[in-house]
Amino acid sequence: MEFQNIRFQKKENIGILTVDRPKALNALNTQTIQEMCSVFKEVKMDDTLRLLIITGAGEKAFIAGADIGEIQELTLKNGLEFLQAGHQMNRDIEGLGKPTIAAINGLALGGGCELALACSLRIISEKAKMGLPELGLGVIPGYGGTQRLARLIGKGRALWYLLTGDMIDAPTALELGLANMVTAPEELMEKTLKLGKKIASKGPFAVKMALMAVNYGLETNMESGLALEAALTNLALQSKDKEEGIAAFFEKRKPGLALEAALTNLALQSKDKEEGIAAFFEKRKPEYKGE
C-alpha cells in the first residue's frame, strides 16, 4: 500500500511508524488513521517484528491532535464514525500483542496525546509537551483520553488537565507517570531504539502474555486479575520460549528465543491444518501426513 501521510520502516525486529504531515503538525485526519491502521495490521501479522515505535516527522510535533479542518465539517452522523475510527486506531495499538513505544518529539495534543496514552510506554523529548485542550474548542477528548488518562495518572489529576487544558511539560509528565523517560531531543530516537531492542530481546510469547495480564487485569478486580495472571503464566510455562530461556540460563548464554507465534503460523500454513479443519466440518477422523 502506498502511503501519503505516514512512513513505515523496519530496523531488524523493530517497526518504526512516522506520522509525516509536518505542515499540518502531523494532525490526524481520516486518511492518516486508515494508513496507520493498515500498518498496525501488518505489524500484528509479522512474526519477525517484536515491537513498534510511533513518532512524528519534524521537530515541532509528535501529533498535534485531530485535523481541525476535518472536525469542523463533521455532522451528527459522520461525527460518530470519525470518533469510532479513532477509538479503533487506539484499540489496534493496545491489541497488537506487541509492545508499542511513543517517541514524543514535540507537541502531543488532543488525538496525539490520546494515541500516546494507548501505547505501552512513552519516551518524551525535553522540549515536547502533552495535553488535552479540547474543552477550549467546546468539545471533549473523543479518542479515549477521558478514560486512559484517568487510568494512568488518577482521576483527580486527569480532571485537572482535562478541565484546565493546561499543557504538561516533559518533567511533569515524568513525575505524573505519564512518561517513562525524558531525553534530549537529539537522543530521542537513539534511546527509544535502545529500549526497544532491550524489550525485543525478551521472549515474544511471554511479552504478549504480560501485556494481556496488565491490560485486561486492570479492567477487573484483584482476584480476577490474579486468576488471569495464573492462567497466562501457565500458558507461558508450556511455551518453547520458556524451554529455551531456562536452558540458556543454566548454560550461561544468551537465549535464542524461539518465535512461538512463528511456529504457530507455520502450522497454520500446513497440509495437516487443512486436513484437520476439513475433517472437523466433515465430521470424520483426520488423516494426517505430517506435512
C-alpha cell belonging to residue 43: 505489524
Helices (H) and strands (E) in the chain, counts: 13, 10
Out of 12, 42, 94, 134, the active site residue is 134
Helix (H) or strand (E) holding 71: helix 68-72
DSSP, collapsed to helix, strand or coil, labels residue 248 as helix
Other beta carbons within 10 Å of 14: 21
Max Cα-Cα span within the chain: 67
Q: Are 125 and 107 in contact (CB under 8 A)?
A: no
Catalytic residue status for 70: no
Core vs surface per residue 113-126: b (16+ CB within 10 A) or e? bbbbbbbbbbbbbe
Sheet holding 129-131, edge to edge: 61-63, 107-109, 129-131, 168-169
Of 114, 186, 229, 243, the active-site residue reads 114
275 is catalytic: no
- Residues annotated catalytic, as ranges: 114, 134
